[in-house]
Amino acid sequence: MDRRRFLTRVALGVLGLGLGAGAVAAGDAVASGFRPTFAPTFGPAGGSAGSGGPAGPTTSPRGLGHPRPEPHPMPVAQRLPPYFEPPHLTRVRLPGATLSSLPGPGNLLALTVDDGASSEVVGAYTELCRRTGMRLTFFVTTKFASWTENAAAMRPLVESGQLQLGNHTMSHPDLTKLSTGAIQAELAGCGDFIRSTFGVDAAPYFRPPYGYLNAHVQSAARDIGYHQPVLWYGTLSDSGRITEAQVLDFAQTWFLAQHIVIGHANYDPVTHVFDQLTELIRDRQLQPVTLNDVFSR
Ligand SMILES: [Zn+2]
């Protein structure tokens, strides 16, 4: 019962961080010209994100000497910006070893979305990114028509780096059961599709279907340029159909700093709770990132 009430509160977008956090945030906003308070590493607002950005006060208090304290701080949901800005990070080298979380302390969240069995869900994620500035990495499985069907809408976001494309094979097999040649054919075929359709190279990132990985798979993949397997540290558990409440429940559990979280573009319930998911990310002051935002190849 308590849990359901908690989820309802999240769904209504009223789960704030308390007055203490609000007071600190108001101070930061004054000092930084109303930059988002959850991303202290931001540089100048980038590209179209800036022009479509936060609808903060148009009369900046900068230069007024001693801005008056806000007598009635706005609720968190109104104070936070409507748009995720691109991060400005100093990228680190890829570990080479299997990646399941992001290194070091920080406030980053790497959402990764796999498969693409539903063209509508791929389209909805793409629109979410366009609308909110969300950054994520798709792990593309090329047997699904969704990637071709949504290519035109995805392309500008791929080109800007807001959407990253990783390799999730052609037919989604258990790679540990395949020969070296078959493993490489699965990865190379997917990589070729991504390159010819979107003009980008998915390598070195690949996600083995089901997370099934062994030394043989890694060696075969490495030999054709895929030297960075990506697993996860938290999941929306929606490779099959679950309810919207369950998606939110898993997000509550796993949307945490420096986590790589896996979701799937297979069933539509997740698309019905996009607003609650973005609220949750903002409330937790997390910065959405792609893997390329964090790592140099
Ligand atoms: Zn998959």
What spacing in Å lies between the alpha carbon of 236 and ligand 1's midpoint? 13
Helix, strand, or coil here: 226?
Answer: coil
Phi, psi of 4 (to 5 degrees): -65, -40
Residues 154 and 273 in one domain: yes
Say if 85 falls within a structural domain: no
Residues 62 and 154 in one domain: no
Say if 150 falls within a structural domain: yes
What spacing in Å lies between the alpha carbon of 112 and ligand 1's midpoint? 11
CA distances, 182 to each of 64, 170, 175, 185, 204 (Å): 67, 11, 8, 5, 18
Say if 181 falls within a structural domain: yes
What spacing in Å lies between the alpha carbon of 282 and ligand 1's midpoint? 27
What spacing in Å lies between the alpha carbon of 25 and ligand 1's midpoint? 39
100-147: pLDDT as tens digits: 999 989 999 999 999 999 999 999 999 999 999 999 999 999 999 999
- Rounded to whole angstroms, how far apart are CA atoms 216 and 59? 61
Residues 9 and 135 in one domain: no
142-166: pLDDT as tens digits: 999 999 999 999 999 999 999 999 9
Q: Domain limits at 36?
A: 2-79
> Which residues touch 103 (CB under 8 Å, ≥6 apart)?
92, 95, 258, 294
What spacing in Å lies between the alpha carbon of 257 and ligand 1's midpoint? 23
What spacing in Å lies between the alpha carbon of 239 and ligand 1's midpoint? 7
What spacing in Å lies between the alpha carbon of 106 and ligand 1's midpoint? 28
Provide the number of structural domains found in the chain.
Answer: 2
What spacing in Å lies between the alpha carbon of 115 and ligand 1's midpoint? 5
Residues 58 and 154 in one domain: no
What spacing in Å lies between the alpha carbon of 172 and ligand 1's midpoint? 6
Residues 117 and 214 in one domain: yes
| pLDDT tier for residue 26 given thresholds of 50, 70 and 90 | very low
89-110: pLDDT as tens digits: 989 999 888 999 999 899 999 9
DSSP state of 161: T
What spacing in Å lies between the alpha carbon of 204 and ligand 1's midpoint? 17
67-93: pLDDT as tens digits: 444 444 444 444 345 689 899 898 999
What does the pLDDT read at residue 215?
A: 97
Provide the whole-model pTM: 0.74
The DSSP-derived string for 243-269 is -HHHHHHHHHHH--TTEEEEEESSSGG
What does the pLDDT read at residue 20?
A: 30
Residues 34 and 153 in one domain: no
Say if 57 falls within a structural domain: yes
Which of the residue ranges 35-44, 47-56, 126-135 has the most confident prediction, judged by mean pLDDT?
Answer: 126-135
The residue from 79, 112, 137 where one domain ends is 79
The residue from 46, 79, 112 where one domain ends is 79
What does the pLDDT read at residue 82?
A: 62
What spacing in Å lies between the alpha carbon of 168 and ligand 1's midpoint? 7
The residue from 27, 45, 79 where one domain ends is 79
What spacing in Å lies between the alpha carbon of 205 and ligand 1's midpoint? 14
Residues 44 and 184 in one domain: no
What spacing in Å lies between the alpha carbon of 114 and ligand 1's midpoint? 5
pLDDT at 45 over 80: no
What spacing in Å lies between the alpha carbon of 74 and ligand 1's midpoint? 42
Residues 159 and 236 in one domain: yes
Residues 248 and 275 in one domain: yes
- Rounded to whole angstroms, how far apart are CA atoms 127 and 157? 10
What does the pLDDT read at residue 88?
A: 87
Find the mean pLDDT for residues 30-54: 30
Residues 35 and 128 in one domain: no
| pLDDT tier for residue 10 given thresholds of 50, 70 and 90 | very low
Residues 131 and 69 in one domain: no
Say if 14 falls within a structural domain: yes
Q: Which is more confidently placed, 76 or 281?
A: 281
Task: Give me the CATH number covering residue 103.
Answer: 3.20.20.370
Say if 281 falls within a structural domain: yes
Say if 133 falls within a structural domain: yes
Residues 61 and 145 in one domain: no
What spacing in Å lies between the alpha carbon of 64 and ligand 1's midpoint? 55
What whole-number percentage of the chain has pLDDT above 70?
72
- Rounded to whole angstroms, how far apart are CA atoms 154 and 176? 31
- Rounded to whole angstroms, how far apart are CA atoms 56 and 73? 13
Residue 185 region by backbone torsions, left for phi larger than 0, else alpha for psi between -120 and 50, else beta: alpha
- Rounded to whole angstroms, how far apart are CA atoms 184 and 222? 9
Say if 86 falls within a structural domain: no
What spacing in Å lies between the alpha carbon of 12 and ligand 1's midpoint? 31
